[in-house]
Structure 1
Amino acid sequence: MRSGILLLYFTLLHCAVVAFPEDQEPTVRLSDMYTQGYPLFLGHESGDDKEEHTLDIQQVVIMDRILYIAARDNIYTIDMGTSPAEEIYFTKKLTWESSENKAKECIMLGKSEDECHNFIRVLIKRNDDTLFICGTNAFSPFCRTYKMDTFEIEDNKIKGKGICPYNAKDSNVAIFTGGYLYSGTVADIQSMDPLIYRSLGDTPNLRTEKQNSKWLKEPHFIHVVDYGSYIYFFFREVAIEACDTGQLIVSRVVRVCKNDMGGNEAFLDQMWTSFLKARLNCFVPSILNFYFNELQAVTDVVHINGHDVVFATFTTSEYSIPGSAVCAYDMHELDKAFSGRFKEQLSPFSIWTPVPGDQVPTPRPVSCAGSEPLEAYTSSKDFPDDILNFMKEHHLMDVGISSTESQPWFLRTMVKYRLTKMAVDVSAGPNNDRVVVFLGSQNGMLLKVMDTSGGNAFLSNSVFLEEMSVYNPEKCIHKGSHDKTIVSMQLDKPSGALYVAFRHCLIKVPLGRCKLHGKCKKACIASRDPYCGWVEESKECKHFIPGESQEFVQDIEHGNVSGMEDC
């Protein structure tokens, strides 16, 4: 019954006054038969190492031209300067396993043997010389600091509560900045206490109120960004403001002040005083706006044509018609939402309504201490009780945040996969002026999309360049399982590659498939690929190498091949 209603709803959207945009078809579509020859990492140290390894990759990070692979019980590093022909081997390996006693205690809690390992969930830079690493440690999370170059332990273990999840299936994000660690995860073994937390600094630790759904309700953390005076957490959660009884999932961004010192003993003691959240909207505008509610991935802040922007990938619910969308958000416009009206619920069963302006304290609590309109206060601990009391109960903004152009930049609907990972290149092409977004799915599909906006337009047009299956069904299989979910993607411009991680393998994918077009000028130009160009001297389609001065023929704008011979 529900699927029938959804289908009718989708049909109505296509018939609405504002036409529902049609899906683009890719210029190039490739199967895994073409891509299975790409170099891959399977956990081996050398060509002589033929043992099957249980990787269970959790995340992939590139720092200082070193690729770090955080997996189960191990962290591997790969030198980005190497050019493997078939298989990639690790340069260094750090093994951090849970003790036998911890594993036994974990099993006694009713967990399976596979769950009772140390899954590395946090791997971030603490400073220029050290890494901060946390693992689930058989449902007893711990963290350590290591030297980047040697993996030598810098200090003793510290408890990872509030920093790293107990269960590897729970989401988490973390970032070190200004000497503090900001994290979003769950702080208990039952996954019932979600929190956004600041710790490991000189001032008091701060967190969200414990098990209060008005702060967070079953959040799934996606990304955290350091920008200006604030830290931004991107996540999806159950919408407490929804009028119906269903579990509507919506996407959010939370903003907290870096200089937040917490409240006083009466209000918000050791809790955030600057915690504000707003809904991220990504929808096709029409009579019946069609929303892509579930945030899946967010990029770091990138600079495009004078704008600071984040790209985000959204999907429909898994119980709905399959659909994915990419929306972009201007950070300046995003911040405006936090100067708007607050939303409140006056009683447990009443609907949520905007807070009247005359009921908001003066000065208005929307900024950090020392900044207008709170410039009179040097610390949040000095805020008057009426401001602290208001901020204890009011976190949700009334108006959501619209994407650039107020519509998705790219859509993919009515296909069997949803797009859940992304990487962005804002300096593609020979002139370093093209935006390319790579999108990864739950079934091993990788998409490449380019922005074609010209003139004064800003992220208003996209062209679908490639759709390819990059999962290697012969080599990535582990114990009979073909898990094709892309778990992480990292782009490395100097090597001209995108590193795509699955649970049990990592594949190095060239940014462009120039060799596919070979000696055919027409196919090379028609591809509109910003990473490829036609070289008249050698009569071949070649990959752009940064700094190379060779002359290329290219038409990214139109792919005009009039007058060219077929081949």
Structure 2
Amino acid sequence: MYADVDDGQRVFRHRFVRDVNHYPAFVGKGPGKSPSRKDTLDIQLLMTSDRTLYVGARNRVYAINLGQSYGDEIQFSKSITWEPNAAAKEDCRVHGRKQTECQNFIKVILKRKNDKLFICGTNAFNPLCRHYKMDTLAPQGDISSGKGRCPYDPKDSNVALFADDNLYSATVSDFQKTDSLIYRSLGDSPRLRTFKQNSKWLKEPSFIHAVDYQSYIYFFFEEESVEYAGLDKVMLPRVARVCKNDMGGNAVYLENEWTSFLKARLICSVPGDSPFHFNMLRSVSDVVKLHGQDVVIAVFNTPKNSIPGSAVCAFSIQDIEKVFAGRFKEQKSPTSIWTPVPDAMVPKPRLGSCAGSELLKHYKSSHDFPDDSLEFMKKHSLMDGSVGAVSLQPLFLQTRISDRILKIAVDNKAGPKGDQTVVFLGSQKGWLLKILVWQGSPVFLEEMNIYNYKKCTLDVGITEQNIVDLKVDKPSETLYVAFRNCVRRVPLGSCERHGPCKKACIASRDPYCGWANEACIHLSPGTTVEYEQDIENGKTDGLDGC
């Protein structure tokens, strides 16, 4: 065990070397069946709904009952097999793709109303979507195009969510990867997208996450910078926003495009005379309450050719809104630098918010917006201001080891009173990190390597330790951790590691753990057991060492 302190962060780290191989694993096995160990599952994502964990993999979707108890191995209760047909595979090979790429990698699993699942896959670089019944996984309706809803290449990023029964998606919409878009489809609202192949709207983006919040959908992504264009390619993290009631423009301007699309830079950096920026956005949480504010918490990395490092920053929705209400940025000519747009040069009404909102209350629909305002929005999507992190610094830094953080999951109802926030982080080398976001300084609770070589490594010796996805299941107080070829089930609190040592239990400051009945036990929300715990200070005055 060791402890270290990150400069200026007062984050205490403890590494515990212990056996975690007893945590259950899913390796593709069903009731009474043994999986083939000659190939990988190629897990792409996890989705939880109605006490079921859905695992999107290659040519398969697995449904796992979260209310069921398991031994060493987790088994699926139902599954969908969806492979490309022979013609699709052949066409994929003709276009120069490998046989391993010409499969159906499941990239979208969403719950839709009427107890339906909406599932999309790459289908040998010809993406398709279909609805399924949640209870039986039987297909419903016809197969539909996945263009604009699912990527062609399994290596490409994508996000998707339903809001008011409209599908909001962001991905690459063509085989050549020249047309990235943020797109609305399927529902009663008209189909809208970002302006096609316009680098000032989107330039080689990698989409990370999307959230539905009040009147807007927020998209988090990274893209090649247009405002700092030069000899070197500069990637910047962004947040973009569109109105849910956006109906598009008129026949002259933005007829089939967003009239409300705005984007701004996110800044996660170590402050100083020369701030050190983390510009590679890797994972973003849903909106959670933190210190009375609605925030998202995000993971950032340094580039591969830079000093290895990761940072975790929180951004308040209110701060994002302030930037979107601020100045626009523009480039007056292809060779000129980007400068703020003077407020006097912005047409009235100022667009970017929703029709019928306080600023646009005289307009019932975006169809009614004036031509000059729509023309301005077509040319101005980038804001001049940037969104800084809450407290203007990272919640957590990791710069001392060559292992970047990739994924995040947040439990903001941790502990017996459900009043603590714990952040779980997954790394590229299979490490799971746990942080308590306290009102003072964040506290590093523990880290452990949960990659199981015996269960998660193929017989052919392929080792993929990248953590692909994380999902918290509060009813069972567990965390599901996906690797390429397995899913591990990990308790939110590893209280047993303290054994019969009261001093270690109290000093851990772990909100999931408390001292009761002469043992360090897991404290579920609403527990009635009398316990001792000191989250604020972890004081152990008068307690004997162990």
Residues in 1 aligned to 2:245 and 2:142: alpha-carbon distance in whole angstroms: 28
Residues in 2 aligned to 1:50 and 1:487: alpha-carbon distance in whole angstroms: 21
> What amino acid maps onto 2:510 in structure 1?
D
**C-alpha deviation, 1:305, in angstroms:** 4.2
Indicate the residue corresponding to 1:136 in structure 2: 122
Relative to structure 2, which stretch is displaced further, 543-552 or 165-174?
Answer: 543-552
> What amino acid maps onto 1:465 in structure 2?
L
**C-alpha deviation, 1:57, in angstroms:** 0.4
**C-alpha deviation, 1:379, in angstroms:** 1.2
Indicate the residue corresponding to 2:3 in structure 1: none
- 1:531-561 Cα shifts (integer Å, max 9, x gaps): 11111x3x11111133431111111222212
Residues in 2 aligned to 1:161 and 1:242: alpha-carbon distance in whole angstroms: 31
> What amino acid maps onto 1:21 in structure 2?
G
- 1:310-332 Cα shifts (integer Å, max 9, x gaps): 11111111111011111111112
Residues in 2 aligned to 1:548 and 1:276: alpha-carbon distance in whole angstroms: 45
Residues in 1 aligned to 2:481 and 2:175: alpha-carbon distance in whole angstroms: 31
> What amino acid maps onto 1:193 in structure 2?
D
1:172 partnered with 2:152: no
**C-alpha deviation, 1:269, in angstroms:** 1.6
Indicate the residue corresponding to 2:468 in structure 1: 487
Point out where structure 2 has 5 or more consecutive residues left out of the alignment.
1-5
Indicate the residue corresponding to 2:452 in structure 1: 472
Residues in 1 aligned to 2:206 and 2:84: alpha-carbon distance in whole angstroms: 26
Residues in 2 aligned to 1:54 and 1:327: alpha-carbon distance in whole angstroms: 34
Percent identity among equivalent residues?
A: 54
Indicate the residue corresponding to 2:541 in structure 1: 562
Indicate the residue corresponding to 1:518 in structure 2: 499
Equivalent residue of 1:490, what SS? strand
Indicate the residue corresponding to 1:9 in structure 2: none
- 1:266-315 Cα shifts (integer Å, max 9, x gaps): 11120111110011111111100111111111111112343211111111
Mapping for residues 82-121 of structure 1, pairs under 5 Å: 82-121=68-107
1:462 partnered with 2:442: yes
1:152 to 138, 142, 145: 138
**C-alpha deviation, 1:203, in angstroms:** 3.4
Indicate the residue corresponding to 1:24 in structure 2: 11
Equivalent residue of 1:332, what SS? helix
Relative to 1, partners in 2 of residues 1:137 and 1:243: Cα closer, same or farther, differing over 3 Å?
A: closer
Relative to 1, partners in 2 of residues 1:250 and 1:101: Cα closer, same or farther, differing over 3 Å?
A: same
Q: Is the 8 A contact 2:171 2:182 kept in 1?
A: yes
Indicate the residue corresponding to 1:369 in structure 2: 355
Point out where structure 1 has 5 or more consecutive residues left out of the alignment.
1-18, 454-459
Residues in 2 aligned to 1:425 and 1:24: alpha-carbon distance in whole angstroms: 19
Residues in 2 aligned to 1:510 and 1:26: alpha-carbon distance in whole angstroms: 19
Equivalent residue of 1:157, what SS? strand
Equivalent residue of 2:117, what SS? strand
Residues in 2 aligned to 1:303 and 1:20: alpha-carbon distance in whole angstroms: 27
Residues in 1 aligned to 2:508 and 2:412: alpha-carbon distance in whole angstroms: 19
Relative to structure 2, which stretch is displaced further, 365-374 or 244-253?
Answer: 365-374
1:531 to 512, 522, 535: 512
> What amino acid maps onto 2:374 in structure 1?
L
Mapping for residues 58-457 of structure 1, pairs under 5 Å: 58-453=44-439
> What amino acid maps onto 1:240 in structure 2?
V
2:27 to 22, 33, 42: 42
> What amino acid maps onto 1:544 in structure 2?
L
**C-alpha deviation, 1:116, in angstroms:** 0.5
Q: Is the 8 A contact 1:118 1:136 kept in 2?
A: yes
Matched residue pairs, number? 539
Indicate the residue corresponding to 1:499 in structure 2: 480
Residues in 1 aligned to 2:289 and 2:380: alpha-carbon distance in whole angstroms: 32
Q: What is the aligned-residue RMSD (CA, Å)? A: 1.5
Q: Is the 8 A contact 1:239 1:250 kept in 2?
A: yes
1:542 to 510, 515, 521: 521
Q: Flag as ranges the 4+ runs of structure 1 deviating above 6 A.
A: none
> What amino acid maps onto 1:327 in structure 2?
C
